[in-house]
Amino acid sequence: MLSNIIKNIAAVLVFVPLMSKRIAVIQGDITQQRVDAIVNAANNSLLGGGGVDGAIHKAAGSGLLNECRQLKGCATGEAKITKGYNLPAKWVIHTVGPIWYGGNQGEDELLASCYRSCLNIAQEQYQIKTVAFSAISTGVYRFPVERAARIAVTEIQRFLEKNNSLEQVILVCFSKSAYDVYLSAVREMGER
Ligand code: ADP
């Protein structure tokens, strides 16, 4: 009995610092990240667009667009993977976030589904250990940033608690204001 309690306390003491290193928030350009996979906030066509999508296609080169043409698009909330071509990242996971219509069109669940789909692809199909996410839906798709950050952190945390294959998930924020919001979400939810 006592030994079980001691074991449980020891497990928590080991688990908390381990978990805390597995989610990181940085301010930067996702195209520069030296990780196994970066996550693109794409649109349903997967044929490139503005924002982070445009930056990723520009940095990856035309090979990426050629491969994306074969994929025949992607549904909102789902994800598909390609190679990274000229990017430092070996893989690009393309996901399509929901457009914000006020919150009553299933936006929260669709955004959560984006994170789950990307993380599932990362762990099931390829030996990916490090993944960098862009702040899906928070640009032209206008999803409120605080709300998006809480959903992102909740889904990533849930996933990491159950899966050991991923070593680190990095939330890459382009602006200082987004960085502050995502970092607060990680801190609020018990991470550092
Ligand atoms: P969405 O259509 O899903 O809203 P956007 O590309 O418009 O996608 O914006 C998603 C987020 O990506 C925004 O927070 C935007 O500031 C950010 N972003 C834009 N360019 C980059 C980049 N090069 N690296 C990381 N994040 C970026």
pTM of the model: 0.90
Q: How many CB atoms lie within 10 A of CB 83?
A: 13
Rounded Cα gap, residues 159 and 182, in angstroms = 17
Average pLDDT over residues 42-69: 98
Q: Does the pLDDT at position 3 exceed 70?
A: no
More confident of the two residues 9 and 177:
177
User: Domain range for residue 112?
Assistant: 22-183
Q: Is the distance from the beta carbon of residue 124 to the nearest atom of ligand 1 less than 6 Å?
A: no
Model confidence at 144: pLDDT above 70: yes
Q: Three-state secondary structure along the chain?
A: CHHHHHHHHHHHHHHHHHHHCCEEEEECCHHHCCCCEEEEEECCCCCCCCHHHHHHHHHHCHHHHHHHHHCCCCCCCCEEEEECCCCCCCEEEEEECCCCCCCCCCHHHHHHHHHHHHHHHHHHCCCCCEEEECCCCCCCCCCCHHHHHHHHHHHHHHHHHHCCCCCEEEEEECCHHHHHHHHHHHHHCCCC
When divided into structural domains, the chain yields a total of 1
- Phi, then psi, of 60 in degrees rounded to 5: -80, -30
Determine, yes or no, domain membership for 3: no
Q: Whole-angstrom Cα distance, residue 71 to residue 96?
A: 13
78-112: pLDDT as tens digits: 999 999 999 999 999 999 999 999 999 999 999 99
Q: Is the pLDDT of residue 6 over 70?
A: no
CATH label of the domain that carries residue 53 = 3.40.220.10
**How confident is the model at residue 16, as a pLDDT?**
43
* Residue 12 resides in a domain: no
Asked whether residue 1 is domain-assigned, the answer is: no
Nearest CA residue ID for atom 10, ligand 1: 139
CA distance 118 to 42: 12
Confidence band for 12, pLDDT divided at 50, 70 and 90: very low
**Segment 14-37, tens digit of pLDDT:** 444 444 579 999 999 999 999 999
* Closest C-alpha to ligand 1, atom 26: 174
Residue labelled with tokens 């219509």: 101
Q: Is any ligand 1 atom within 6 A of the Cβ of residue 58?
A: no
For position 90, what pLDDT does the model report? 97
Residue 190 domain-assigned?
no
